[in-house]
Every structure is written in structure tokens, then in C-alpha cells.
Structure 1
Amino acid sequence: MKYKSEVSEAIHETMQDLHEAGAIGTATMRKFDKSCLTQIEPLAPADIKAIREREELTQAAFAIHLNISKNNISAWERGVKKPSGAALKLLTLVKNKGIEAIA
């Protein structure tokens, strides 16, 4: 899992241990999951292009890092398609932490 910060990771691990011990319930654990993990928001085509250019990657190289086709990158940057699921999560991580976060 990718956490917002090292502090979030430590807090989440502690809460997970408490959940496994029965000290906190599942609903509380879900709240901690949501608050500690990287939040995913839709990205505009210009944002996707800006992320790729900031990382100094071609569309082909960026696609390799995201494990998708170059055509998907092109379609996202033109607004023909929108990233979702795992691809959107990876894009968000690269946006927040740089390509090293997924390399």
C-alpha cells in the first residue's frame, strides 16, 4: 500500500494491529484506511501531460512505467479516454511523489 506519509503508515499499522486484536471494529478500521492511504481524484488531460513532462518521459516511456499502451497515454492527454482504477492510482502516486514511487 502507498501511504500519504511515513507517519500515516505508522499510525495505520498500529490501528491494524489493534483491529486484529479486536480492540477496534471494522468500521473504524475502514476510516483509518481511507484517511491514511493516498486519495485518488480524476485528472484532466492537461494534468496528465504535465505529470509526464515534469518526469521528462515520452509517452512510450511513461506507458511502460504504468504498464499500459502508448495509445492510452495519447488518448488520456487528448481527452478521448479517462484513466481509472489502477492506472489512475499510479498516475496519482507519480503526481504526488514522482516516477520513483512506481519505478
Structure 2
Amino acid sequence: MSNKYRSRASAVIHKSMKDFERIGLVDKKTMRDFDRMCLTPIEAMPPEKIVAIREREDVSQAVFAFYLNVTPSLVSKWERGEKKPQGASLKLLNLVDKKGLDLVA
């Protein structure tokens, strides 16, 4: 089972719903709503947690930034709480938290 689903049952049901959407039995809005219910939510990442993840992975801000495809300056701002990670960066941070940097390497 992929970690993106809340449970194995959610993964199976989600696949069926995607099939229904593909053949026109479920519209896009319903599918988006269903995705929100089925998929594991992406958690906000406070500065302390970002620092803890980076330190756990034993990398510098520059190396961490390289793996996340952002600038070292942005990582520094996240860690100081000046900016909050969003979008793809936040998703990657959640993945790195769960699976480690080897996942994105």
C-alpha cells in the first residue's frame, strides 16, 4: 500500500473511483472531494520540525536545499520561521520526514 492513502481500503476504493471518473460516472469536482477524504493530508511544518528533519538526516542547509530543489536561503527562512513551506516543497518535506532523504535522492 502506498503511504499516500489513509488505509489499504482507501487505496482500493480510490482506484475504483478513478475508474468511474475515467468512464464518466464521477465528475471532476466529486473526485477532488473524494481525494481530500482518501489521501493522507499534508501537515504544516513548523520551523523546529524542519530543523529536526535536516539534523536527523545529518546534512547542511545547502545540501538539504539541493535535495528539495530550493535555495539554501529559503531553507534558512523556513528554519527561522520567516517563511512557511508550501505546495510541492511542503509535500517533499512531509515525504522526507516519513521516508528520509534517500526517497528524493
- TM-score, shorter chain, exceeding 0.5: yes
Task: State the TM-score, normalized to the length of structure 2.
Answer: 0.78
Runs of 4+ aligned residues of structure 1 deviating over 4 Å after TM superposition are none
1:78 to 73, 80, 87: 80
Change (3 A) 1:42 1:29: same
Deviates more, 1:59-68 or 1:48-57: 48-57
Uncovered stretches (5+) of structure 1, i.e. residues with no partner: none
Paired with 1:5 and 1:62, the residues of 2 have a C-alpha distance of: 28
Uncovered stretches (5+) of structure 2, i.e. residues with no partner: none
Are positions 1:17 and 2:19 aligned together?
Answer: yes
Task: State the TM-score, normalized to the length of structure 1.
Answer: 0.79
Equivalence map 1:21-100=2 (5 Å) = 21-100=23-102
Secondary structure at 2:42 match in 1: coil
> Percent of aligned positions with the same letter in both sequences?
48
Output one character per residue of 1:44-73: Cα deviation in whole Å (capped at 9) or x when no partner: 110100111122222111111100111111
